Amino acid sequence: MSESRTPQVLPTRKCTSLLEKFSEADVPTGRGVLRTVVFREKRNGREHVALVVGEVQGLEGVPVRVHSECLTSEVFGSLKCDCREQLDRALDFVTQNGCGVVLYLRQEGRGIGLGNKIKAYALQSEGLDTYEANRQLGFPDDLRSYDIAAEMLRLLGVRSVDLITNNPLKIAGLVEEGIPVRRRIPSRTEHNPHNVGYLRTKRERTGHLIELFAEDDDDTEAKVG
Ligand SMILES: Nc1nc2c(ncn2[C@@H]2O[C@H](COP(=O)(O)OP(=O)(O)OP(=O)(O)O)[C@@H](O)[C@H]2O)c(=O)[nH]1
Ligand SMILES: [Zn+2]
C-alpha cells in the first residue's frame, strides 16, 4: 500500500508586497539624529515614516513604537488625547537607548481619517464616548491594520520587537502579521481633565493597559515616561 501523503499545513502570510522603500536621510533633531525612512504604499501612494536610531538590521527585541498619526494633538496641541506625549516619550526612549524604531503611520483617527475624527469629536461633545461616536458614524471601534507596520519592520530587518504600547490589540495585530513581540514596554502619560474620560474608556472597553492613577503603578517593568 502506498504511503499517504497528506499535505502539511504551513503557516502563511501574504506574498504580495504592499510597500516600497522610497527615500531615506538623516535628520538632526533636539534629541539627536533620526534616520528617517519613508515607505510608500503601492496601492495609493500614502507615505509612512520609520524613525530609526542605531543599527537594527537582524536584531531581536528592538524597542519599537507603532504610532498612529494624530494631527490634532501632535501639531495643534489638543488635550483630548495623549498621542503627542506618547510620541515624545517614545522618541525620548529610543534616542536615550541608542537603538530603536518609531513607526509613524498615517492612520489618523484610528483609521477613519481627520475629517471623520472631528465629526466624532462633535458627537463626543454631545455625550458619546470615543467608540460610540465611531459607531454612530458607521465605523468600527478601530479601523487600523498592522500589515503596513509589519512590512516596514521586515524591510528594516527587525526580527522581533519590544513593543512600546498599552494597547493589547496592537500587540495581537503585529503578531498576526508575523512580527514576534518579545515583551511590552508600557507607555505612561499624564492625564488631564480633557482626556481622562477618553483614557478610562479605552481601559474599560478595549482593555488598554493604561495606568491612570498612582495605585496602578507597577515598577517591576521598564517604562517609557
Ligand atoms: N476615531 C477616533 N480616533 C481618535 C480619537 N482620539 C484619538 N484618536 C486617534 O487614535 C489614534 C491613537 O493611536 P495610538 O497612539 O496608536 O494609541 P493606542 O491605539 O491607544 O495605543 P497605544 O498608544 O500604543 O497604547 C490616533 O490615530 C488618534 O488620531 C477619537 O476620539 N476618535
Ligand atoms: Zn490623539
Is position 127 within any domain? no
pLDDT at 204: 77
In short, whether 170's Cβ falls inside 6 Å of ligand 1 is: yes
Span from the CA of 184 to the centroid of ligand 2 (angstroms): 21
Is the residue at 70 inside a domain?
yes
The answer to whether position 224 is within a domain reads no
Residue 41 burial (CB < 10 Å; 0-12/13-18/19+)? middle
Does any domain span residue 130? no
The candidate with the shortest Cα–Cα distance to 117, out of 107, 104, 126, 127, is 107
What local confidence, expressed as pLDDT, does residue 13 receive? 63
Mean pLDDT over the full length of the chain: 89
> For residue 219, what pLDDT is reported?
43
Domain count, the chain: 1
Tell how far the Cα of 66 is from the centroid of ligand 2, in angstroms.
14
* pLDDT single digits (tens) 170-199: 999 999 999 999 999 998 777 778 877 777
Q: What confidence category does residue 68 fall into, taking pLDDT thresholds of 50, 70 and 90? A: very high
Contact (CB, 8 A) for 166 and 187: yes
Long-range contacts of 210-218 (CB under 8 A, 24+ apart): 210/166, 211/186
Percent of the chain with pLDDT over 90: 74
Q: How far is the CA of 8 from the centre of ligand 1 (A)?
A: 40
Question: What is the pLDDT at residue 147?
Answer: 96
Structural domain includes residue 58: yes
Strands 32-41 and 62-68, by their bridges, are unpaired
Q: Which long-range contacts (CB under 8 A, 24 or more apart) does 113-117 make?
A: 114/71, 114/72, 117/72
Q: Is the CB of 164 under 6 A from ligand 1?
A: no
Closest to 66 measured CA to CA, from 210, 157, 222, 172: 172
Checking if the pLDDT of 98 tops 80, the result is yes
pLDDT digits (tens, 9 = 90+) for 130-157: 999 999 999 999 899 999 999 999 999 9
Catalytic hit among 65, 110, 144, 184: 144
Cβ of 173 closer than 6 Å to ligand 1, yes or no, is: no
Residue-level pLDDT at 3: 53
Percent of the chain scored above 70 by pLDDT? 89
Identify the pLDDT of residue 87.
97
Report CA torsion sign: 119, 120, 121, 127. Answer: positive
Annotation says 217 is catalytic = no
Q: What number is the average pLDDT over the span 39-52?
A: 97
Asked if residue 215 has pLDDT above 60, the reply is: no
Structural domain boundaries enclosing 103: 19-107+144-196
ipTM of the complex: 0.94
Task: Give ∠ CA 21-27-153 in degrees, rounded to 5.
Answer: 35
H or E segment to which residue 162 belongs? strand 161-164
Question: Does residue 162 sit within a domain?
Answer: yes
Task: Determine, yes or no, domain membership for 211.
Answer: no
- Predicted pLDDT of residue 224: 66
- At residue 66, the pLDDT reads 98
178 HSE (CA, 13 A, CB side): 16
Q: Which ligand is in closest contact with the Cα of 189?
A: 1
220 pLDDT tier (thresholds 50, 70, 90): very low
